[in-house]
């Protein structure tokens, strides 16, 4: 292998468009393709599918749409494929793929990694009574659990590659572990070369959400809006020393810039100096991002520390049901009409529950989208002439959810004027799936690897406790306002932003467009400022971290998503809009700096 490998990020979630595989293969210079399909809620969906049919429980479109049409090109070009498409049933995924390979008359070896699925041990784990690693909550009742999966690392995938696998399928593993495995295999990196492992993990982190790093979800969206229909999927050209170039196939849409890459760097991380992965603890605070040409961005400077002695384990469990509807109101006083209608719905449904001797809803949610409910007290003082009303609730009994939907529909002729509904069908109640994350010693998670049904030995690397108290934090930037005329400008003029979720936490990464803007952003966006901005959502605290390398700040908001995922009744249960809300903040800067914007 040369001193550089090219890794293509071909999938960011289960259900994404399937154009990436053919597009990346057409580029003609791929060494590896990596596919990330899994999220916590995806695991519970797959677990329910496996319960109905023992042959399901994996990302079926990985086999039918990503692999089947492209296997001949993969075999011809010698491209290695690494995917967590196995979900909760990697054996079934592997067998389905082998059937397709045999039908195509190809000679491709398939490796499978298992051992992450711990659902069969739910009673034993319940007896251990681990606490939720963020909230401290008690372990759920074993019978309520839908899935339990440990986040495995890169070493099992490396073992499969070194034993001849052309395609490796895993269950749950860290999203970035697939790209790290490619680097470790290609460059023979050792498991104790922490800086290199952090660099390979960073490559995976930048690739794991597909086109989010090539212009998707970008603050300066108008720069790419005309080309997103044909957006290019990302390619990491990783050098043996861990430095890399982020790019995309020539002639494709989107953009690779310092801004798009920096936004993805900050996406869904917690402490940027202690980003804990199964193989390494990463420090991204000094990472540098430099434009090297059109759609080519160089990234370097990741640092690493020894991995911890535990795996993160995510369990999902059933916690009642939820249901809701979206309706629109238009005309004068549209917002008041919507809120009065929602009040009437809950008054009637509540009375019917009481009449039946049933308890009330455990949680309700009303959001009026249009005048700016998501902005809280910072909403614009406008009278919207058209709004969307979202009504939702939770209850332990699915029948109560059916009653809510029936009530919403049944009041349609008694509503204030201006109601309209595009889809008049009644949605069905759906299970509320909650996330429970905890730590489990690595020796309690036996990992198995097979290549073409032959067992492969996986090396065991002892971890070390992480002491966050020893982390040396960057020196915070200072500002000098003495005799300086100041003025206020919108944050979006100074910065990019990207937000995301980790369970019930939200993170907001704010990246200065120029290094001289960072001190002023740091001075203005304190933890208290951000807490006030999101006080209508926030139930916990805010922690602020500085990343001087990419000129960035990361904010972590605890208990901010109403449970997160499908456990939340929010219109934005994953905090994807939080970055856009914060960009509306105004920042005090020197008048001469503002004049140069």
Could you give the CA distance from residue 531 to residue 290 in angstroms, rounded to a whole number?
32
**Average of per-residue pLDDT across 83-103:** 97
pLDDT of residue 178: 98
Mean pLDDT of the chain: 95
H-helix or E-strand spanning residue 62: none
Q: Which DSSP state fits 442?
A: G
Of 178, 167, 156, 44, nearest to 446 by C-alpha is 156
User: Is residue 485 pLDDT above 80, yes or no?
Assistant: yes
Look at residue 148 and tell me whether its pLDDT is greater than 90: yes
- Shortest CA distance to 26 belongs to which of 76, 81, 82? 76
Cα–Cα distance measured from residue 358 to residue 92, given in angstroms and rounded to the nearest whole number: 43
pLDDT for 460 equals 84
**Averaged over 120-129, what is the pLDDT?**
95
Under 8 Å CB-to-CB from 586, ≥6 apart: which residues?
488, 489, 490, 491
- pLDDT the model gives residue 461: 87
pLDDT at residue 304 tops 80: yes
**Stretch (H or E) spanning 363:** strand 363-369
Give residue 1's pLDDT band: very low, low, confident or very high (50, 70, 90): low
Task: Using the predicted structure, report yes or no on whether residue 534 has a pLDDT greater than 70.
Answer: yes
Query: What is d(CA 50, CA 1) in angstroms, rounded to the nearest whole number?
Result: 40
For CA atoms 533, 535, 537, 542, give the dihedral sign.
positive
pLDDT at position 566: 84
What pLDDT band is residue 49 in, cutting at 50, 70 and 90?
Answer: very high
Q: Which residue has the higher pLDDT, 205 or 376?
A: 205
Name the residue among 594, 588, 579, 595 with its Cα closest to residue 522. Answer: 588
Above 60 in pLDDT, residue 242?
A: yes
pLDDT over 60 at 586, yes or no: yes
* pLDDT for residue 370: 87
Q: pLDDT value at position 383? A: 81
Please provide residue 146's backbone torsions phi and psi, each rounded to the nearest 5 degrees: -105, -35
pLDDT tens-digit readout, 329-369: 999 999 999 999 999 999 999 999 999 999 999 999 999 99
Q: CA 155 to CA 64: how far, in whole Å?
A: 27
Across 50-64, 86-100, 190-204, 424-438, least confident range: 424-438
CB 517 within 8 A of CB 495: yes
| Token representation of residue 207 | 């690739």
> What is the pLDDT, as a whole number, of residue 263?
98
- Taking the C-alpha atoms of residue 243 and residue 289, their distance in angstroms, rounded to an integer, is 10
Query: 423-477, pLDDT tens digit by residue?
Result: 767 899 999 989 999 999 999 999 999 999 999 999 888 899 999 999 999 999 9
Helix H or strand E encompassing 238: strand 235-239
Under the banding of pLDDT at 50, 70 and 90, the label for residue 275 is very high
CA–CA separation, 207 and 265 (whole Å) = 10
For residue 224, the model assigns a pLDDT of 95
Mean pLDDT of 268-282: 97
Backbone angles phi, psi at 248, to 5 degrees: -155, 165
Q: How many CB atoms lie within 10 A of CB 505?
A: 20
Q: What percent of the chain has pLDDT over 70?
A: 99
Q: How many helices (H) and strands (E) does the chain have?
A: 16, 26
pTM for the whole thing? 0.95
Mark out the alpha helices in 13-136 (DSSP H runs): 20-27, 40-52, 60-61, 71-77, 90-103, 122-128
Note the pLDDT tens digit of each residue in 104-116.
Answer: 999 999 999 999 9
């Amino acid at each position: 292998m040369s001193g550089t490998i090219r890794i293509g990020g071909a999938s960011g979630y289960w259900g994404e468009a399937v154009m990436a595989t053919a597009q990346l293969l057409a580029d003609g210079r791929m060494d590896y393709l990596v596919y990330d399909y899994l999220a916590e809620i995806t695991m519970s969906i797959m677990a329910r599918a496996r319960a109905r049919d023992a042959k399901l429980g994996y990302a079926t479109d990985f086999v039918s749409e990503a692999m089947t049409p492209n296997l001949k090109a993969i075999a011809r070009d010698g491209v290695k494929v690494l995917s967590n498409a196995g979900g909760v049933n990697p054996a079934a995924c592997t067998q389905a793929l082998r059937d397709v390979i045999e039908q195509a008359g190809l000679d491709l070896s398939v490796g499978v990694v298992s051992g992450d699925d711990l659902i069969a041990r739910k009673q034993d784990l319940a007896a251990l009574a681990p606490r939720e690693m963020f909230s401290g909550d008690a372990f759920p009742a074993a019978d309520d659990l839908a899935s339990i999966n440990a986040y495995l690392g890169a070493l099992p995938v490396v073992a499969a590659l070194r034993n001849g696998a052309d395609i490796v399928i895993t269950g749950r593993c860290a999203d970035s572990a697939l790209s790290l495995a490619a680097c470790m295999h290609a460059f023979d990196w050792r498991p104790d070369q922490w800086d290199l492992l952090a660099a390979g993990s960073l490559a995976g982190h930048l690739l794991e959400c597909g086109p989010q790093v090539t212009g998707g979800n970008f603050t300066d969206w108008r720069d790419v809006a005309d080309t997103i229909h044909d957006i290019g999927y990302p390619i990491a050209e990783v050098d043996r020393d861990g430095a890399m170039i982020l790019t995309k196939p020539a002639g494709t849409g989107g953009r690779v810039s310092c801004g798009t890459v920096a936004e993805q760097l900050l996406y869904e991380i917690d402490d940027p100096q202690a980003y804990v992965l199964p193989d390494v603890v990463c420090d991204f605070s000094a990472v540098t991002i430099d434009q090297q040409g059109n759609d080519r961005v160089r990234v370097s400077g990741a640092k690493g520390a020894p991995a911890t002695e535990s795996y993160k384990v995510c369990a999902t469990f059933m916690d009642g049901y939820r249901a809701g509807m979206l309706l629109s109101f238009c005309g004068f006083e549209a917002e008041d009409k919507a809120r009065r209608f929602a009040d009437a719905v809950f008054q009637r449904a509540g009375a019917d529950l009481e009449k039946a001797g049933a308890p009330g809803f455990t949680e309700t949610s009303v959001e009026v989208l249009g005048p700016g409910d998501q902005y809280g007290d910072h909403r614009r003082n406008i009278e919207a002439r058209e709004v969307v009303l979202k009504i939702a609730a939770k209850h332990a009994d699915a029948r109560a959810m059916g009653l809510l939907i029936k009530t919403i529909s049944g009041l349609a002729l008694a509503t204030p004027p201006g109601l309209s509904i595009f889809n008049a069908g009644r949605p069905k109640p759906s299970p509320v799936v909650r996330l429970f994350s905890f730590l489990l010693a690595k020796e309690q998670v036996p990992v198995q690897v097979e290549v073409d049904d032959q067992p492969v030995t996986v090396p065991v690397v002892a971890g070390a406790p992480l002491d966050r108290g020893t982390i040396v934090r960057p020196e915070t930037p200072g500002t000098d306002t003495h005799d300086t005329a100041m003025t206020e400008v919108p944050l979006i003029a100074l910065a990019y932003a990207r937000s995301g979720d980790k369970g019930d936490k939200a993170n907001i990464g704010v990246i200065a467009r120029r290094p001289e803007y960072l001190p002023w952003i740091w001075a203005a966006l304190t933890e208290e400022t951000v807490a006030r901005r999101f006080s209508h959502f926030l139930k916990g605290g805010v922690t602020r971290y500085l990343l001087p390398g990419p000129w960035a700040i990361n904010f972590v908001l605890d208990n901010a998503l109403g449970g997160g995922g499908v456990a939340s009744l929010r219109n934005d249960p994953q905090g994807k809009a939080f970055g856009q809300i914060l960009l509306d903040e105004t920042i005090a800067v020197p008048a001469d700096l503002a004049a140069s914007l």
